[in-house]
Amino acid sequence: MRIAVIPSVLAVLAVLASGPFVHAQGLDADALLARAVALHQAGDTLGAIENYEAALEKEPGRLEARSNLGAAYAQLGRYAEAIENYQKVLAQRPEIHPVRFNLALAFYKASRLPEAAAELERVVAQDPSNLRAILVLADCRTQLGQDAGVVDLLAPREADFKDDRLYAYLLGNALIRRNEILRGQALIERLFKGGETPEAHLLMGVAHLQREDYRAAVPELERAVALSEALPGAHSLLGRALMGAGRRDDAIKAFTSELTRNPNDFDANLYLGIMLKDDGKLDEAYEHLKRAQRLRSRDVAVQYALGALHLAAGRTQEARQALEIVTAEAPDYRQGHVLLATAYYRLKDKEKGDREQALAEKLREAEQAKEPGASVPSPPPSVPEGSR
């Protein structure tokens, strides 16, 4: 919702001339709101907040004051207060689309992505012409690992976005991650038409990553980063490529670099947490893995890493809980059963431990039957939110 405009210019001037806030206690709600709007428009956000709140003390039902107060808090990066005020407006007037969009943006900027996505879905349903909402929703789905949802959202809207590079990047990335290489390639070519772009190199790197061609992915992603240090997710993808190419120390640097730009990048938190756990830095690893879990609560790779970390730290009950999620979501992942058996044995539950050990042995035999001599366990599969 835009900042409310009070029709009487003379009233605004009179309020501004009335001096500091401390001298404005006798003003009514209209005058306080007029003063708040004028201060807000003049860039005095803190002063505006004081007057919006004073107006609301006198008339709690003034929705324009409540919405503007939310906007002022959002401008200061105080997203919790912004969210609270937007929600109060919508509790009374759920049909006000701009306020719902502002609420979604506050969730998005606060890195509360599932809640942002839920509000954005309502915004897009109410106003399909809101192209900005569509792109922010697509980015939420991208970060939540919902590639099918990105394709479903963006593919039918190509005519609306035409040469929009962000649209081409988000859709191309989702298509390539879903192994729809030809469709993704067409979007890469569109990005290259305007000359060399970081987005195009990033998509090429993603395409190589999907084929597990890490050595080919590294230079593409390094070029993307060189062209745009701030390109979202680029350092994280580079870290994955470097890790696959056996350059572990460089991968750690890349993941760390991503997290300085976006502390909530899922892959950077997951893989950095795994590597820190392997280095014995359990507390630091736990912080990264917990953040990854908040982004994708039942992702198998996250739960497996947490289970292994809890076992290493002696937190056996927590390990059991995480590993039970792993075996429920990915029953054919042998290492999940192996670690869960270990947890049960430590908890003196021999019956369940024997059961998990037997399942692990059965899966090992099946693996050997398919690939005789194979002994290196594969990593746990990642199950993105919304794909189940």
The CA–CA distances, whole Å, from 380 to 92, 206, 296 equal 46, 20, 15
Distance CA 21, CA 123 (A): 37
The dihedral sign for the CA sequence 296, 298, 301, 307: positive
Q: Is the pLDDT of residue 148 over 80?
A: yes
Distance CA 387, CA 148 (A): 8
Domains and CATH numbers, the chain: 1-110 (1.25.40.10), 296-388 (1.25.40.10)
Q: What is the mean pLDDT of residues 148-154?
A: 94
Distance CA 4, CA 324 (A): 53
**Residues of 217-235 as b/e, b for ≥16 C-beta within 10 angstroms?**
bbebbbbbbebeeebbbbb
Question: Which has more pLDDT, 119 or 212?
Answer: 119
Tell which phi-psi region holds residue 348, choosing left (phi > 0), alpha (psi between -120 and 50) or beta.
left
Do residues 142 and 154 make contact, with C-beta atoms less than 8 angstroms apart?
no
The DSSP code for 137 is H
Q: Is the pLDDT of residue 124 over 60?
A: yes
Distance CA 139, CA 132 (A): 11
Q: Is the pLDDT of residue 14 over 50?
A: no
- Amino acid 279 reads D
- 160-173 pLDDT, tens digit per residue, is 988 787 888 889 88
Question: Which has more pLDDT, 367 or 287?
Answer: 287
Residues in the chain: 388
Question: In the chain, what is the greatest distance between 2 CA atoms, to the nearest angstrom?
Answer: 87
What DSSP letter does each residue of 85-111 carry, written as one string? HHHHHHHH-TT-HHHHHHHHHHHHHTT
